[in-house]
Every structure is written in structure tokens, then in C-alpha cells.
Amino acid sequence: MKKFKLVTTLMVVGLLLLLSACGTSKTGGSEKKTLRVVTDAAYAPFEYQQKGKIVGFDVDFVNAVAKEAGYNVNIEHVGWDPIFVEIEKKTADFAVSAITITPERQESYDFTVPYFLSRNEILVPKGSTIKSAKDLEGKKIAVQNGTTGQEVVEKLFGKNNPNLKKFENNNLAILELKNGGVDAVVADNSVVETYVKNNPKDNFEFIEDDGAFENEFYGLLLPKGSKLKGDLDKAVKAVIDNGTYAKIYKKWFGVEPDTQTLKD
């Protein structure tokens, strides 16, 4: 009887030790899941390559969000069109690429809550006669294929506009403007303005048109029904609310973000 009691006690103690060991290894945090994140790293200052590394506002932002949500991330450059294929096939966990939340995309994909306020803008050589979106009529325009830049130009001048040249990435669209193949590029305002600022020798300027172009909001792109959405939404909100977002924003844009419009 005594022996039986001892054996059971030992067994209980053993079980308790085993349970507590499991507990610490779980809360130890060394086994964070690594998420595969895809991007089109040709869209400075959001994501671009520098000395073989992908850097940019989106990279800093996603790292902050992942840290907040308790994940590791591995951000991989795959290109713009492949992003949507990867997310549709669920070969990547999510995408970050200055991707505007649009009703059409929402039919096939999920987005997190908005994290960035943007608008399309026009890039032209200094002294161009193009002073507004209306002036683009009859002019040769370059856009990145499958972007909202393409969408807004098609909305203005129709879908089969022979003057609209579509490129695989935005850098190629800008190169076409440099080479004189087009009169203007339409792309996201932060990208256009960063280009003008960082490339003074190109002699480009940017044209805003708040009447023609509307507010857009970027979101992280997820496969439809992804279980990650809850975690990421919570982390995006936390990063915006706890001031981390403003820090990253200031680093890349030098000014405070308008977080109120993001939340409305």
C-alpha cells in the first residue's frame, strides 16, 4: 500500500514536471512561425532593392506588424502580377506592395484594415503643358499594368486608349518617360514625389489633381478566408495606435501621418 502511494506520487510529480516543461517551451517565444510575404520591390519608397536587400516603408511597417502579432516574416520579391497569383494559390501568407483596397480585388482577396492613405498623381517633365488630369487627353501615358493608375486613366479616356502604355513595373514606366516615349506617368503620389525629389537631374515635376483622383487606402493582401486576418488586423491597429506607425512614417516621409483619415 505504501509502495503504491509512492509510485503514484512520483508519477504525479513527473507529469507536473513534464507539463511545466511544455509550458515554458511554448511561451519561450523561440518558435515563432515564419510567414512568407511577397512583394514587387520596384516601388520606392514603399519597397525597393538596395544592395540586394528589400527596403522601404512597407518593409519597416510589416516588420513592426509581424513583431506585434508574434510572427517572423520573410519578404520576397516576386513582381506585381505574381503577387496576385501567389495569394490566390495560397503559396504565400500575405502580400505587401502599396496595394490599394479596391472593390474588384475584394471579390477575390481579403485585405487587412487600411494602413496608408494614397492618391494617384501625374509625373511629367518640367514645363510640360499637362497641368491637370484633363490635359492628359490625347497624350501618351505610361502606367504599371494592373494598378489603380491604369484604372484611373481608363476611367478618364476609355479602355482601348492606344495612347496608354502598360509596363510590368513602375520603374519601366518612368524609364519610358525619361526616354521620351510617353508624355506622362500616372502612379501613387508618394512614389511620384519621391522620384522627383531623388532624381533632380531628370527635371521632372508632379501634378496633383484632387478633382480627378480619389483617396485610396493600402491594405495587406491575404488569401480569401485567411485565418491570419484577425491577427494582422489587430497588429496593424496596434502599430498605428502605439506610435510605431508615426515613427516609421516620419523616417520615410519626414512628416506626421494623417492617422485620423486612416481610421475613418
Binding part of the chain for ligand ARG, among 59-67, 141-149, 177-185, 255-263 by CB under 6 A, reads 141-149
Q: What is the DSSP letter of 200?
A: G
**Candidates 30-38, 98-106, 129-137, 158-166 — which segment interacts with ligand ARG by CB under 6 A?**
98-106
The single-letter DSSP state of residue 136 is: G
143 beta partners: 166
Candidates 64, 122, 148, 221; binder of ligand ARG (CB under 6 A) is 148
94, 97, 115, 195: which one binds ligand ARG (CB under 6 A): 97
Contact 87/105 with Cβ under 8 angstroms?
A: no
Least gap, CB of 230 to ligand ARG (angstroms): 23
Nearer to ligand ARG, 178 or 234 (CB): 178
- Other C-beta atoms lying within 10 Å of the C-beta of residue 124: 23
Of 40, 68, 110, 233, the residue at the interface with ligand ARG (CB under 6 A) is 40
CB 84 within 8 A of CB 222: no
Q: How far is the CB of 60 from ligand ARG (least distance, A)?
A: 15
Q: Which of 71, 80, 94, 252 binds ligand ARG (CB under 6 A)?
A: 80
Any idea which residue has 480585388 for its cell?
A: 105
Q: What cell does 36 get?
A: 512568407
218 neighbors 210 (Cβ within 8 angstroms): no
Neighbour tally for 123: CB within 10 Å: 27
Looking up cell 494614397 gives: 118
- 226 binds ligand ARG, rule: CB under 6 A: no
Identity of the residue, 112 or 147, whose beta carbon is nearer to ligand ARG in the bound complex: 147
Site residues (CB under 6 A) for ligand ARG? 40, 43, 47, 80, 97-100, 144, 147-148, 170, 188
